[in-house]
Each structure stands twice: as structure tokens, then as C-alpha cells.
Amino acid sequence: MRLNVNENTHPVPEAVATDIVMALAQAVMGVNRYPDREFTTLRESLAGYLGHGLGPENLWAANGSNEVIQQVLQAFGGPGRSVLGFPPTYSMHPIIAGSTGTRWIDAARDDAYEISPETVAAAIRRENPDIVFLCSPNNPTGTPIGLETIAAAYDAHPGILLVDEAYAEFGEGDTALTLLPGRPRLLVSRTMSKAFAFAGARLGYLAADPAVADALRLVRLPYHLSALTQAAAVAALGHAPEMLAMVDDIKRQRDRIIVGLRDLGYLPLPSESNFVLFGGVDDPHAVFQELLAGGVIIREVSIPNHLRVTAGSEAETSIFLDAMGRIAALGKIGT
């Protein structure tokens, strides 16, 4: 049972899957031709899904949000340039930065893994980066970043500000999309992997000023989004209400994990994502191995005495909490 990579463990609803298969069947009939390199219909569908006055000219998409981030760094980063981030955060951010020759700079967070407007502005003034990355809700902590912090980062920074909202659908607060008007250097990235249960389809996207999309056109590979990917994503977006119905159940299981771990004596953090980071673990590797021996895989993170678990189905949550109860009872490798 894999609860380690923050996948949506719920299957795509059968009616939605049927429509996706039909869309793919139609797209297959034209695979002898190159796909629409401007993925026009997909950008229209993404704009319709996001709302907030966005049009297709504001949207960009690629094969997963990692490729979107890579293209942003190819366009605006590179040798001689730097990107500022606030660890612990998404582990691929510094890796992708390194792959593009962009220097990664760490900045400290406040207590409880939060970032205040004062903290973000001070870090930007101190480091003078070319690009700033903020992750909200943050991975692996599940911590949201307030709009006032994002606005402060933009005002303090003359370069590109990217807000990674991969888990936005699981949050409770306002999205950074509301800050886009009048801020041409603000980029908001999203993914269909999580809320839309589309991890295997690989579709990430970004909302920003149209000039950003023009810049990304210069670095993308020709025809980078296949006709099949485009067709599947458009079909799924046409069923957004049904797909997002899964989110409510995942949030219930997330909150159940928080309560269950707390009852067992662990220290789960509040989360606005589809996972829970929890502390109070004397030996995280031993707990990981004990769970693995029972067929449950969670995530070891680079935070002492902490582990991270994905919120899955009701049955998966029960199996995980039961296993953690047995581990806590052992005492030696639990809390």
C-alpha cells in the first residue's frame, strides 16, 4: 500500500474514465499527425476550470509540473542566476534548479514552518535572487502561505516569483491566482496529478501574464504535449465536479489521520494538503521499516523525528492507523 508519494489513491470514476477513453480513441485516429503545439483546447479548458478572469493566453502546460518548473528555470534562470527557496520544501525544486545551472539559495522559515511577510522580504533583500520559489501548501509540511506573504515577496523582489500550488485544491484559504492581476512577474503553477487523480497522465500547468507563456515557448521542445495527453486532460477537466468530489473524502481521511496520530501520542502538523507530516518519532527509519514489513509504504523526510504519510482511502487510512497503533504499543520505535 503506497502512501509515500502523495498520489490520489482514489480511482478515476467509471463514467469519467469512459469519457476519457472515448476522447483517447478519437485522438488515436489522428496520431499520424503532430499534435497542436499550442494545445489551444487544453489551455481553454484550463482557463475555464481556474476562473479568476483568466483566458487561454494566461495558461501554459507541460508534462507534469516538474517540466513546467524546468521550463521556467530554463527561461528565467540558468548559469549566473539564482533561485531562493525556503526548505524544508519540495525536494525537486533545488534538483531542477541544479539541472538548469541555476544556483539554489536556502532561506530559513519561521516557527511552525510558516513564512511571514517580514521573513520573506528580509530574505529577498539579503540574498538578491533572480527568482523566488514559494510552495503553498508546502511539501512536506502541508503549511499554507498567506496571500500577504506572497504579495510582500512580489513587492520586495524585482524578478520572477513562482508560487507552487500543486496541492491547492486541498487547502482552505485563497489561491495566489487572486494576486495575478497587475503582477506580470507572478507565476502560479498547478498539477492535475493530485486532486484530479492524474499522476500517470503527467499534466502540469501554470497561470501567468501572457508574456510568460511567450517566454516559455522559446525553451519548450517542439510538440512537447502529445495529442493523447491533451485529449485525456481536456476530457477530465470536462468532469471537474466529479473529479473534485474525491477531494472532500481525501480531506476527511487527512483530518482523521491527524486525530488518530495525535491520539496515539504522535505530533501531527496541521495540513492543507493531501498528506500529513508528523513528529514525535524516536526512530523514523525503524518505524518506516516496520510499516514496510507490513506492506505499508510512507515517506522518510529530512526532518529529524518526523515522517510523512499520504491521505488515501478510508480503508487505507484504517490500515495505516492500525499499524501505527501497533508500533506505538511497542514503545521502542514509536513515540
CATH number at residue 142: 3.40.640.10
E-strand ranges in the chain read 59-62, 82-85, 103-106, 131-135, 160-164, 186-191, 204-207, 267-268, 275-279, 299-300, 307-310
The tens digit of pLDDT for each residue in 129-177 reads 999 999 999 999 999 999 999 999 999 999 999 999 999 999 988 999 9
Domain limit, last residue, from 211, 239, 267: 239
Same domain, 81 and 162: yes
Same domain, 51 and 190: yes
200 to each of 84, 191, 194, 196, 249, how far by Cα in Å?
30, 12, 10, 11, 21
d(CA 311, CA 320): 10
C-alpha cell at 8: 490520489
How sure is the predictor about 302, in pLDDT bands with cuts at 50, 70 and 90? confident
What is the domain range of residue 190?
Answer: 14-239
Is 8 inside any structural domain? no
C-alpha cell at 61: 502546460
d(CA 96, CA 66): 8
Overall average pLDDT of the 312-326 stretch: 97
What integer pLDDT is reported at residue 153 of this predicted model? 98
Domain limit, last residue, from 201, 218, 239: 239
Q: What DSSP element (H or E) covers 40?
A: helix 40-50
Same domain, 280 and 224: no
d(CA 99, CA 83): 13
Same domain, 158 and 296: no
Report yes or no: 177 and 207 within 8 Å, Cβ to Cβ.
Answer: yes
User: Considering its fold, how many domains does the chain have in total?
Assistant: 2
The tens digit of pLDDT for each residue in 6-27 reads 999 999 999 999 999 999 999 9
* pTM of the complete model: 0.96
DSSP annotation of 11: P
d(CA 152, CA 87): 19
Give the CATH number of the domain where residue 295 resides: 3.90.1150.10
Same domain, 188 and 249: no
What integer pLDDT is reported at residue 334 of this predicted model? 58
What integer pLDDT is reported at residue 330 of this predicted model? 84
Q: Is the pLDDT of residue 245 over 80?
A: yes
Same domain, 258 and 286: yes
Overall average pLDDT of the 219-233 stretch: 97
Same domain, 187 and 114: yes
The tens digit of pLDDT for each residue in 273-299 reads 999 999 999 999 999 999 999 999 999
Is 274 inside any structural domain? yes
The tens digit of pLDDT for each residue in 82-132 reads 999 999 999 999 999 999 999 999 999 999 999 999 999 999 999 999 999
Same domain, 230 and 280: no
Same domain, 274 and 158: no
Domain limit, last residue, from 223, 239, 255: 239
Query: What is the torsional sign of CA 117, 123, 128, 129?
Result: negative
